[in-house]
A and B are shown apart, each in its own frame.
Chain A
Amino acid sequence: MSLRDPLATARGLGSAKTGFGHWWAQRVSAVVLALLTPFVVYCLARYGIADFAALKTQFTNPLFSAVCILYVLALFWHARLGLQVVVEDYVHHGAFEVILQVLVKIVFSFAAVAAVIAIFRLASGS
């Protein structure tokens, strides 16, 4: 459903048309992160670093692993959208801006995939 006036579409006026999608994705991922961050921070502070074995066994619980996968996906999505806006706002050097934008997309897509694979490995208890 589009809330745009048909006349505005016909005239081709208005914003860049797809801006709302970015804004909305940033908010949806923010809500997921706002809900899950206390849990993740608690786990890291409670088990973290020193208690390696205890932290690792948590992942054999499918619900824990699922929450972690949701968390890293929301995290890297949110980070990528946020960095995109920061680069748009402060980097105005043609080629450098394009390279940075593409780099941000690649790095955070890679991070999301790698994190999910690592969690799968931990979940399978290998």
Chain B
Amino acid sequence: MSAQKRPLSPHLQIYSKQITSVMSILHRITGVVLAIGSLGLLWVLVVLSLGDAAFSATQACLSSGLGRFVLFAYSACLMYHFFNGIRHLFWDIGKGFAIPDVYRSGYAVIVLSAMSTLGIWWLALQGGAA
């Protein structure tokens, strides 16, 4: 069918990357990761409600090296999607569309999500958690 052969826009092979487009697709990618990861949160809630034996197995799994890595990646995705989502909500009410503002808020999101991810892990490791 000829409809299948239409060129893709933007033409990804020659499309120059900008912080705006990269952050936009990152919002989607982190969104998909978080949606799948939310089923992990459901799992934690379920085993928590099932009692000590069920929870300690999950706890051991999450405390392992791989478990911590997954939790770290999840928290980083969550913080990025959280701050960038707030940026999107401001756009939705018509604020911050000027190009300098878009770049400023973009860099702010990157800095805030990095700092808050470190903050979460500082807090978690302080209490001996994770």
Give me the interface of A with B, judged by CB distance under 8 Å: 27, 30-31, 33-34, 37, 41-42, 45-52, 55-56, 72, 75-76, 79-80, 82-83, 86, 107-108, 111, 114-115, 117-119, 121-122, 126
The complex places the Cα of A76 from the Cα of B55 at a distance, in Å, of 22
Of the residues A37, A108, A111, A119, contact of B82 by C-beta under 8 Å: A37
Interface: B45 (CB within 8 A): yes
Residue of B nearest to A124 (CB): B49
The answer to whether B35 touches A49 (Cβ under 8 A) is no
- With A45-B120, A79-B35 known as contacts, the answer to whether A122 contacts B42 (CB < 8 A) is no
Nearest Cβ on chain A to B120's Cβ, whole angstroms: 5
The 9 closest A-B pairs by CB, nearest first: A79-B35, A121-B49, A118-B49, A50-B129, A118-B45, A45-B124, A45-B123, A48-B129, A45-B120
Bound together, the chains give a CA A56 to CA B129 distance in angstroms of: 14
In the complex, how many angstroms separate the beta carbon of B74 from the nearest chain A beta carbon? Answer: 10
Q: Does B128 contact A (CB under 8 A)?
A: yes
B130 adjacent to chain A (CB < 8 Å): yes
Tell me the bound Cα distance from A100 to B124 in angstroms.
36
Residues of B102-130 whose CB lies within 8 A of A: 120-121, 123-124, 127-130
B73 within 8 A of A: no
Known: A86-B28, A118-B46. A52 touches B123 (CB 8 A): no
Describe A's contact surface by its main secondary structure: helix
Shortest distance between the CB of B72 and any CB in chain A (Å): 12
Instruction: Determine whether B23 belongs to the interface, using a CB cutoff of 8 Å to chain A.
Output: no
26 A–B pairs (Cβ distance < 8 Å), ordered by A:
A27-B92, A33-B82, A33-B85, A37-B78, A41-B120, A45-B120, A45-B129, A46-B127, A47-B129, A48-B130, A49-B62, A49-B63, A49-B124, A50-B59, A52-B48, A52-B55, A55-B48, A72-B41, A79-B34, A79-B35, A111-B38, A115-B42, A118-B46, A119-B49, A122-B45, A126-B49
B78 near A41 with CB under 8 A, answer yes
CA A31 to CA B89, docked complex, whole Å: 8
Taking CB atoms, residues of chain B closer than 8 Å to A52 are 48, 52, 55-56, 59
A117 to B46, CA, bound (A): 9
Given contacts A79-B38, A111-B42, A118-B48, contact A30 B128 (CB under 8 A): no
Write the nearest CB–CB distance from A125 to chain B, whole angstroms.
10
- Is there contact, CB below 8 Å, between A82 and B62? no
